[in-house]
Structure 1
């Protein structure tokens, strides 16, 4: 290569060790990496909120009175926690479940079909994000009484 050719090609930065304070602002994570991180975050969120999930499940199935108290939590809240916050927590759990499920199906599909090309990974990651957010928007509309 000549010097003119080398100077004409754009030098891309190489990140070996990403520094949280200097490199994160300029580093662009690909869609597949973003989905992978969100898959882990959604799994952690579901794990940490497991006691709340079990409480909701227990109150919804124990008796008619407990079911009434369960549905009342979405109208009047729980103790000092307002109803809108309960709805937001349930919405976050809904997103976590939907995203984790769809991303898990994406991983299984990629494993089963050996679909590991860069373009296919990007398109399936974008599809995963779009579908999980669209389904979460439908749950939010139902939860907040839009239909």
Structure 2
């Protein structure tokens, strides 16, 4: 019996096309937003308890870490929105070819970077 196994998959040489990266990031941003909704609902519920809790949440949200988390949430929202619009357009039968699909995925990446920068400017 041979102990030498064939190596058929070298993960260092796999390069996904832009459309695959956009799809993976769309799913990832959806998971990030799902977790973020839990945090935001917790903060809202706590802030509605009393004036002291509202003051606590207000002070908590003005710190750097909270602004960084909010920036991450807004960046995930922007990417998810743009990628979702791209998927809706693809459901209508457009941008399904390899060239146009990769071009639209790259456009989503550029738009998400622009939205992330704008969210950072708005928060800080």
TM range (shorter): 0.7 to 0.9
Which one of the candidate residues 77, 88, 92 is aligned to 1:97? 77
> CA-atom RMSD, angstroms?
2.4
**Pairs within 5 Å for 1:5-24:** 19=9, 23-24=10-11
- TM-score, normalisation: structure 2: 0.79
Unmatched segments (≥5 aa) in structure 1: 1-16, 76-82
Tell me what 1:44 maps to. 31
**Larger Rg, first or second structure (1 or 2):** 1
Distance 1:111 1:132 in 2: 21
Change in 2 beyond 3 A, CA 1:50/1:113? same
Q: 1:51-95 CA deviation, whole Å, 9 max, x = no partner? A: 2121344467x49946654442233xxxxxxx2211111111111
- Equivalent residues, number: 117
Q: Which has the higher contact order (CA 8 A, sep 6+)?
A: 2
Unmatched segments (≥5 aa) in structure 2: 1-6
